[in-house]
Structure 1
Amino acid sequence: PWTVLGQSFGGFCTVAYLSLAPEGLSAALITGGLPSLDAHADDVYRAAYPRIERKVVAHYARYPQDIERARRIADHLLTHDVVLPNGYRLTVEAFQSLGIMLGGGEGSHRLHFLLEDAFVRTANGHELSDAFQEQAQGLLSFAANPLYALIHEIIYGQDARPTAWSAERVRAEFPRFDAAKALAGDEPLLFTGESIHPWMFDCDPALRPLRETAELLAARTDWTPLYDPARLAANEVPAAAVVYHDDMYVDTAHALTTARAIRGLRTWVTDEFEHDGVRAGGPRVLDRLLALARDEA
């Protein structure tokens, strides 16, 4: 038996491990990764979009000058066909997805510095700078991790309902994320978060060969259960989890409901860290979880 540390999706895997083979574990530590045991992907994203909006509003409150900068970049993308050096087609939706940075402790600052000098003056007018394009390319490309894009949404697949591009469908229920409507009026442009959309498989050259596979997975209806509530209710493995209050990526209400469903799981709820707490404050987070799992705290 071994002690596992599950960060984010790793926490989902750890809860599955506790469901399927708890005899293989001596302890389970989870950071920002307690999944809902029964939510469909639609439920996950309906909870996510209001949370994402709050993070974007908080970013603009910190850097109000970014409201106009983001609108200017989005307007430029609506009227220009921008292709990044690696062949990635930078659309408005792709630009909005840079909001994924807002889920990390330093993400708001990183996004601000990216927007700050996005344009340079050229003989043909203002264009997106090489530096901006290079950074955006690094943040948006899935060349290093294409499987992330394929399996990200289907990690919620566990009944007869297909995921069917859930993040894209549910986004339509939140019209404030519509960039064209925001730019037509005077609303701030809302960034999005950690979600996968079908247009990514057109924009990103690393994902284009995987479009057919992604469509097959999105349409699949024969998923089996991911977790075993009865076995979790009888859990005997020492377990501890940190739940980041208002985590951009993992819904706090879903996480706490699951925490109550796992026998003996001890939780630490904190707003000291964002989703990347184990990276930003590893010693503090791990020491606390180990103490909880060992019943020393």
Structure 2
Amino acid sequence: MALSSSASYELRGMRLRDHRIQVPLDPAAPGGEQITVFAREIADAAIPASAELPWLLYLQGGPGGRGIRPLALGGWLKEATASFRVLMLDQRGTGLSTPASRQSLALRGDAAAQAEYLSRFRADAIVADAEALRRELAGGPWSIYGQSFGGFCALTYLSQAPEGLREVLVTGGLAPLSGSADRVYRGTFGRVRARNAEYFGWYPQDRAIVTRIIEHLRGVDERLPTGERLTPERFQMVGNFLGGNTRVDGLHYLLEDAFEPTPAGERLSDAFLEQVAGQVSRAANPLYAVLHESIYAQDGATAWSAWRMLAENPDFAPDAPEPLLTGEMVYPWYFDQDPALRPLKEVAELLAARTGWPALYDVGRLARNTVPVAAAVYSDDIYVDRDLSLETAAAVAGLQVWETDEFHHDGITDDGEAIFARLLSMVRGT
């Protein structure tokens, strides 16, 4: 495996260095097709490079999210770089790694070929990529920090290659180790329902505004800046705001000036439609939609699990009397309504129907785990269910849990320094 690295350079108090490595598309076939994986080393420029601090690999949320591009040291990254060199990974298919988008996937051939290619983009392959980087950069074991889907990858890492790990930190990312995706969505629909109730309790006037917008969209052709019609169900995706601590209040500001008068009557404002477009488009991270349910697939087909579970939760249906806002669930109509996803519709259908997925977790090995692990579990997390998280925590030997209702899924954006410091202290017993 060939590793190439740039010279170091500085940006606003950070010392950066870029690394690229060639890895096999299929980790089980090392002599087969190769792809590029990119990672950026981030260190505090005030600490001499000669100090050779230990490595911390950051595993980003997702799937389909590139590594963070910080403009300065702050939050958890500031805390981490006080004692680590942080490696910010662009998981395969994202960022500066070999891309996987509607443009590049077309080079693979037909939808079946594209789906087969993307079946190699789950946590097991991401861990194999990380191990290739570790062997080249660190040699010995390193520390890892997984946020959200990054925590899922951390569990796979503990299953596949625990010898490469010194310690593991996880925030909002303990995946269920067994069962179908259906149990995930049965849990998260309930959490999202409770979060809707909490939000509309704070802002009761917003309940009427949301209902009014949805009723308006049923009868009026409103267009997003990208040209397609905004539908009621797509508008419901703004419920993603509900997953945050301070971000949740941004929903109120979005809704407060949704309508404005026009000669044709009240219409949704351009400013509102522009903001909504940023919430409901997957142009920046198409793999999130295409691969989302596959991160829960252990053997059988996911078969559009969230869409099927929606039938058990009719208060989320867009034709309900007062429809609730949704969370991160991915539905098949995404691939009709989002221009960035339309070319991938057949690919998504094939992946939803795919069976024979390999296991992502070795339950026996996790039960014998000896790597120190500490995980923050957020009691009211609408994306990663608290009950399923605690079930997983109990199945991993030595895993220490810090459960808190102080934060939601994006807690590290609110007080990342304190959260990181607490988890690091837990794994080190200090």
- Please indicate the TM-score interval, normalised by the length of the shorter structure: over 0.9
State how far apart, in whole Å, the 2-side matches of 1:134 and 1:144 are: 15
Task: Give the C-alpha shift of residue 234 in structure 1.
Answer: 0.8
SS in 2 for 1:240: strand
Tell me which residue corresponds to 1:180. 319
Q: Which amino acid aligns with 2:242?
A: L
Count of equivalent residues:
290
1:170 aligned onto 2:309 = yes
Q: 1:117 aligns with which of 244, 250, 257?
A: 257
After superposition, residues 198-277 of structure 1 pair within 5 angstroms as 198-277=332-411
State how far apart, in whole Å, the 1-side matches of 2:227 and 2:358 are: 38
State how far apart, in whole Å, the 2-side matches of 1:227 and 1:280 are: 31
1:288 aligned onto 2:422 = yes
State how far apart, in whole Å, the 2-side matches of 1:242 and 1:15 are: 14
Tell which has more relative contact order, 1 or 2 (C-alpha 8 A, sep 6+): 1
Task: Give the C-alpha shift of residue 276 in structure 1.
Answer: 0.7
State how far apart, in whole Å, the 2-side matches of 1:88 and 1:7 are: 33
1:71 aligned onto 2:205 = no
State how far apart, in whole Å, the 2-side matches of 1:151 and 1:214 are: 8
Tell me which residue corresponds to 1:126. 266
Task: Give the C-alpha shift of residue 3 in structure 1.
Answer: 0.6
Task: Give the C-alpha shift of residue 97 in structure 1.
Answer: 1.4
Tell me which residue corresponds to 2:183. 43
State how far apart, in whole Å, the 2-side matches of 1:208 and 1:181 are: 27
Q: 1:33 aligns with which of 157, 165, 173?
A: 173
Structure 1 residue runs of 5 or longer lacking an equivalent are 183-187
Q: Which amino acid aligns with 1:110?
A: G
Tell me which residue corresponds to 1:151. 291
Compared CA separation, residues 89 and 154, structure 1 to 2 (3 A): farther
Deviates more, 1:171-180 or 1:125-134: 171-180
Q: 1:4 aligns with which of 144, 148, 168?
A: 144
Task: Give the C-alpha shift of residue 176 in structure 1.
Answer: 1.3
TM-score w.r.t. the length of structure 1 is 0.96
Task: Give the C-alpha shift of residue 101 in structure 1.
Answer: 1.1
Q: Which amino acid aligns with 1:42?
A: D
TM-score w.r.t. the length of structure 2 is 0.66
Q: Which amino acid aligns with 1:174?
A: N
Q: Which amino acid aligns with 1:154?
A: S
Compared CA separation, residues 88 and 26, structure 1 to 2 (3 A): farther
CA contact (8 A) 1:232 1:262 kept: yes
Compared CA separation, residues 242 and 113, structure 1 to 2 (3 A): same
SS in 2 for 1:6: strand
Task: Give the C-alpha shift of residue 266 in structure 1.
Answer: 0.8
Q: Which amino acid aligns with 1:207?
A: L
State how far apart, in whole Å, the 2-side matches of 1:89 and 1:233 are: 50
Residues 129-149 of structure 1: CA distance to partner in whole angstroms, max 9, x if unpaired? 000000000111111111111
State how far apart, in whole Å, the 1-side matches of 2:413 and 2:320 are: 37
Structure 2 residue runs of 5 or longer lacking an equivalent are 1-140
CA contact (8 A) 2:260 2:269 kept: yes
CA contact (8 A) 1:67 1:189 kept: no
State how far apart, in whole Å, the 1-side matches of 2:204 and 2:323 are: 12
CA contact (8 A) 1:88 1:137 kept: no
Residues 90-114 of structure 1: CA distance to partner in whole angstroms, max 9, x if unpaired? 1111111110110111232111111
CA contact (8 A) 1:11 1:34 kept: yes
Q: Which of the two has greater helix per residue?
A: 1
Tell me which residue corresponds to 2:240. 100
Task: Give the C-alpha shift of residue 171 in structure 1.
Answer: 0.5
SS in 2 for 1:169: helix
SS in 2 for 1:281: helix
Deviates more, 1:256-265 or 1:81-90: 81-90
SS in 2 for 1:35: coil
State how far apart, in whole Å, the 2-side matches of 1:125 and 1:119 are: 10
Q: Which amino acid aligns with 1:67?
A: R
Greater Rg over alpha carbons, structure = 2
CA contact (8 A) 2:237 2:279 kept: no
Structure 1 vs Structure 2 CA RMSD: 0.9
CA contact (8 A) 1:88 1:141 kept: no
1:56 aligned onto 2:199 = no
SS in 2 for 1:106: coil
Task: Give the C-alpha shift of residue 88 in structure 1.
Answer: 3.8
